[in-house]
Amino acid sequence: MNTTDVKEIAELSSQLGYEISVENTLENIKTLSTTPNSVGLVAIIEKKIVGWMTVSKVFQIESLPCCEVRGLVVDKNFRRQGIGQLLIESAKTWSREHGNNRVEIKM
């Protein structure tokens, strides 16, 4: 995910009822891109973003660190095609690469 994806990310967010402006989405993407232990991932089909996900490493007193899926959306026209599962698999890979074997979904 990068700042050039902002319009498509905002449009996908609105499909789930999150009415956030393109400007605010841009600021959020910029913040995410500079936040250690966090990543934004996109799913692309034929040069079109059809889904996105954010993942963050989290720390808690009562358990070992893990990674959390903080947001996930797949375009309504591309659902039930395994795109969400592919994004989850990407989150698992990113998590392992950052020293975690556990991914939780918190939305």
Q: Domain-by-domain residue ranges, the chain?
A: 3-105
pTM of the model as a whole = 0.86
Q: What pLDDT is stored for residue 5 in this prediction? A: 93
Alpha-carbon distance 103 to 67, whole Å?
5
Does 103 have pLDDT greater than 70? yes
Q: What pLDDT is stored for residue 98 in this prediction? A: 86
CATH superfamily of 3-105: Gcn5-related N-acetyltransferase (GNAT) (3.40.630.30)
Q: What pLDDT is stored for residue 64 in this prediction? A: 78
Q: Which amino acid is at 51?
A: G
Does 101 have pLDDT greater than 80? no
Does 74 have pLDDT greater than 90? yes
pLDDT band at residue 107, thresholds of 50, 70 and 90? low
How confident is the model over 37-47, as pLDDT tens digits? Answer: 999 999 999 99
Alpha-carbon distance 76 to 9, whole Å?
13
CB 37 within 8 A of CB 20: no
Residue bearing tokens 């841009």: 26
